[in-house]
Amino acid sequence: MVILKTTKEKVMIVSITKIELKSYSKLIGFFKFNGKIINELKQSKNKKYQVTASWNLRDLYTMTLWVNENDINDFYRNGTHIEAMKQSKNFSSKIQSKRIQQEDLISWKEAKKLFVNTF
């Protein structure tokens, strides 16, 4: 007799952000903040993260996996991230974020579709 042990996957929160740079001259400023944010992200309560960019480096994306909204907000509202948000108008023309409930990170193809035709 085979007994299958089933466990229900915990639904987590995937936070996906798209940042559109104003110009290529802002790329260095963005990466300065982004590097610091990634270091803080590694120390945070997030479970996984990924970053990617469009082929021309104008659109930059981050995707993070969290257990709950409190952990997300603790990270976003503190440290380098909050400073980057204050400075974001200097290097970005548009920032969009989406949060979805999911058991794990989704593919970049799926993630990028979330931003198509959104205003």
Q: Is 49 exposed, middle or buried (0-12, 13-18, 19+ CB in 10 A)?
A: middle
CA angle in degrees (0–180, nearest 5) for 108-91-38: 50
The whole-angstrom separation of Cα 119 and Cα 110 is: 18
**What confidence tens digit (pLDDT) does each residue in 12-68 have?**
999 999 999 988 888 888 888 788 888 888 989 999 999 999 999 899 999 999 999
The pLDDT, as a whole number, for residue 119 is: 53
Confidence (pLDDT) at 118:
57
Q: Supply the pTM of this predicted model.
A: 0.82
* 8-state DSSP, 75: H
CATH code that applies to domain 12-113: 3.30.70.100
- Give the mean model confidence (pLDDT) for residues 77-104: 84
